[in-house]
Chain A
Amino acid sequence: MAPEVTAPSSGQGAPFGPDRAPRGGTLRRLLATREASVLGALVVTVILASFWVDGFFTDRTAGFLILDVTAIALIALPMTLIVITGEIDLSVASILGLTSAVMGQLWFLGLPLETIVPLCLALGAVLGAINGLLVTVAGLPSLAVTIGTMALYRGLAYVILGDRAVADFPRSWTSGATQRLGETAIPWVVLLIAALAVVFGIVLHATPIGRSLYAIGSNDEAARFAGISVRMTKLWLFVASGAVSALAGVFWTLQYSSARADNAFGLELSVVAAVLLGGVSIFGGLGALPGVIGGVLLLGTIRKALELADVSSDTLSVVTGLLLVISVVAPNIVARLKERRRPDTPSVPAHSNQR
């Protein structure tokens, strides 16, 4: 008896499925509005800050801002794809930390950086693959798996480097990491982020792979019937997430010229917040990359503007939280109001009441 045939309940099949109705037709429209509102909020924030905050509208601000959000921006790219398939990866910041610790230790042991960097990227891919295998082959929920590997990878980082910090990286590399483009104040890393964003964007929005990701996120049962290799797809997404987190780890280490086990502690929540703010549904099947990049930049811009306006970091935390809550509550309320106005349409709550 094939397992597919014995799997009758979509309720268990897609844990958040039961309250969800197919929304294929409205998908495009919904995407447009969510993205539009994030990007709109970004534009409004930039305009307001330029008027009210001294020294905000300069290329120095932009340069610092990009360096501040580099790690979040990089990791948010694969995270978007993962969340769209209905999974999550909470171990990304720990992969960053472990990569940084390994990089420091190998450098300390005398290996050349030209060897260390590819090794670190490979390590990230392996760590991601472990997540992916536990999720796809062992069939465990990604939320629980990556909470486990989050502790495990961070723990290994401490085992390797303890509380030491390795800081004597060559200046040519560390200042190279934050090198500006020509005469501007914009760091070159913006090109790296843009290149990766384009790659991930094309994969997601212009290839059959991308369409299969949405299909998996909407209903992975159906996706499998449609001939999509759900397991392999998810496995590779976790590998990509690990590798990109490792890349962010290498960059972080050089940017701050400090390899430490606690680097980027807690960053996973910032990444998830940016992705969700960017309009990706935590249930999967919904979201777009431009919105996520808007989300990353929006959080970074608000932060920078508040800092320049001498508003304390406490406020930042409240603002981040409020934005996140509003970004999910507002569309729901709008949807409900519309629904009430047209009682003949079938009830389609934008989200179920579960996680």
Chain B
Amino acid sequence: MSAVSTSAQPPLQEHGGGDAKADRKLRQVREVGILLALVLLVVATTIVNPNFLSAQSVRDLLLGATLLTILAVGQTLVIVTRSVDLSVGSILGLSAFAVGSLFAAFPTMPVPVAIIAGVLVGTVCGAVNGALVALARVPALVVTLGTLYIFRGIDYWWASGKQINASDMPSAFLGMGRASVLGIPVLALVAVLVVAVVGWYLTSYRSGRELYAIGSEPAAARLSGIPVDRRIFMAFVANGTLAGLAGVLYAARFGTLDATVGTGLELQVVAAAVVGGVAIFGGSGTVLGAALGAVLLTTIGSALPILRVSGFWQQAVVGLLILTAIGLDRVLAVRAERKLRGGQSRGA
């Protein structure tokens, strides 16, 4: 889908050569903006109900945001290369069910082995997507829409009506979903670690920065010698792996697994990334932004019942938030562009 934006207005060189500084500033404005929204929401909710900031409730909030954050980080890797992965919900479901089935079949299986196996399920799914997109050169939206159905179908077929219950899994594994360090849930720490590592990779490694180059200008990236196909392939593999990890954590946290786990999650994940300022057409956006987007969406979900707003409003609010976020990105980008052009006025 082409962005009309770019036909109606001059293209925005978000990651061109000379505007790195301006762009960084833009990103910061954007991230501070989400943070501000988040703080406002928490403060407002706490005023209505002081319990919202109790230790228990903050723990719940962090736990709730964990899975979406990890998925949004993975999705960011893919989106900055101007692709998208719609199959993450199905990958999460498949890997969660794989972990549960492993434990159900081999109750004595060591926990780390099962975790690795679950993550690897995600890696394999990601590699399938990556191979189709990067090597067979077919559009990511179509491929991952296809694999969304395929992976889910495999999950249904595998589960065939069975359910894995908490009692099928060892308490050491489930304990992982409940444990805290200094009052912070372990799962949330895993998410923080994922954000830190991936964020660091994207900014500090040449191959990480090349992902942005690919997303901004694929043809130029190819000409300048970047191994585009390999980078895109690896982005999908990494995203699949993270979705697999999220599946494992889902199993540890929720304990009850059937074939429908993670259905429909893909659009939430894309929404979190978009709210977090990741440009849907690639080349721009940070992992931190996407993570903040995920936390904001989750917090809205928990805050609405406490604010006594009918849960029915939740989706509508999320929709408005997405539209606001992309609108805001547009405004900021246009402004930055204008500044770069020395305040030249132009018709928009």
- Chain A: residues with CB nearer than 8 A to chain B? 1-3, 6-9, 11-19, 83, 86-88, 134-145, 147-156, 158-159, 162-163, 217, 220-221, 224, 230-231, 234, 261, 266, 269, 272-273, 276, 282-284, 312-325, 328-329, 332-333, 336, 349-355
Q: Are A162 and B330 interface neighbours, CB within 8 A?
A: no
Give chain B interface residues in 266-310, CB to chain A under 8 Å: 267, 270-271, 274, 280-282, 310
Count the B residues whose beta carbon is within 8 Å of the partner chain — how many?
A: 75
Q: Are B314 and A140 interface neighbours, CB within 8 A?
A: no
* Closest residue of B by beta carbon distance from A136: B4
Q: Are A140 and B3 interface neighbours, CB within 8 A?
A: yes
Interface flag for B182 (CB, 8 Å):
no
B236 to chain A, nearest CB (A): 11
Q: A18-B217, A138-B330, A139-B4 are in contact. Are A314 and B149 (CB under 8 A)?
A: no
What are the 5 A-B residue pairs with the smallest beta carbon separation, nearest first?
A152-B319, A155-B316, A12-B11, A155-B315, A321-B149
A9 to B145, CA, bound (A): 30
Residues of B within 8 A of A217 (CB): 2
Q: Are B8 and A149 interface neighbours, CB within 8 A?
A: no
Interface flag for B139 (CB, 8 Å):
yes
Give chain B interface residues in 310-348, CB to chain A under 8 Å: 310, 312-320, 322-323, 326-327, 330, 344, 346-348
Q: Are A151 and B318 interface neighbours, CB within 8 A?
A: yes
Give chain B interface residues in 191-219, CB to chain A under 8 Å: 217-219
Q: Choose among B143, B151, B232, B316 the residue with the greatest number of A CB atoms under 10 Å from its CB.
A: B316
Binding stretch for chain A, among B21-29, B153-161, B169-177: B153-161
Binding stretch for chain A, among B62-70, B105-113, B118-126, B128-136: B128-136
Interface flag for B140 (CB, 8 Å):
yes
Q: Are B152 and A317 interface neighbours, CB within 8 A?
A: yes
Q: Are A147 and B9 interface neighbours, CB within 8 A?
A: no
Identify B281's interface contact among A8, A15, A273, CB under 8 A. Answer: A15
Q: Choose among B138, B143, B219, B330 the residue with the greatest number of A CB atoms under 10 Å from its CB.
A: B138
> 19 new A-B pairs (CB below 8 Å) besides A321-B148, A329-B132?
A2-B347, A7-B6, A7-B9, A13-B11, A15-B2, A15-B3, A16-B2, A18-B218, A86-B2, A148-B326, A151-B315, A155-B315, A276-B142, A284-B1, A314-B153, A317-B149, A328-B139, A354-B139, A355-B83
A12 to chain B, nearest CB (A): 3
A320 to B151, CA, bound (A): 11
A284 to B3, CA, bound (A): 12
Identify A11's interface contact among B7, B142, B219, CB under 8 A. Answer: B219
A7 to B9, CA, bound (A): 8
Q: Are A150 and B6 interface neighbours, CB within 8 A?
A: no
Q: A147-B271, A155-B316, A318-B153 are in contact. Are A272 and B1 (CB under 8 A)?
A: no
Instruction: Return 26 A-B CB contacts under 8 Å, by A number.
Output: A6-B346, A11-B219, A12-B13, A12-B217, A15-B6, A136-B8, A139-B4, A139-B9, A149-B323, A150-B319, A151-B271, A152-B319, A152-B323, A155-B317, A159-B313, A220-B7, A234-B4, A266-B264, A316-B153, A318-B149, A318-B154, A320-B149, A323-B146, A324-B142, A333-B136, A336-B137
Residues of A within 8 A of B346 (CB): 1, 3, 6
Identify A140's interface contact among B146, B156, B327, CB under 8 A. Answer: B327
Q: Are A332 and B138 interface neighbours, CB within 8 A?
A: yes
Interface flag for B141 (CB, 8 Å):
yes
Residues of A within 8 A of B1 (CB): 15-16, 83, 86-88, 141-143, 282, 284, 355
Q: Are B2 and A220 interface neighbours, CB within 8 A?
A: yes
Interface flag for B228 (CB, 8 Å):
yes
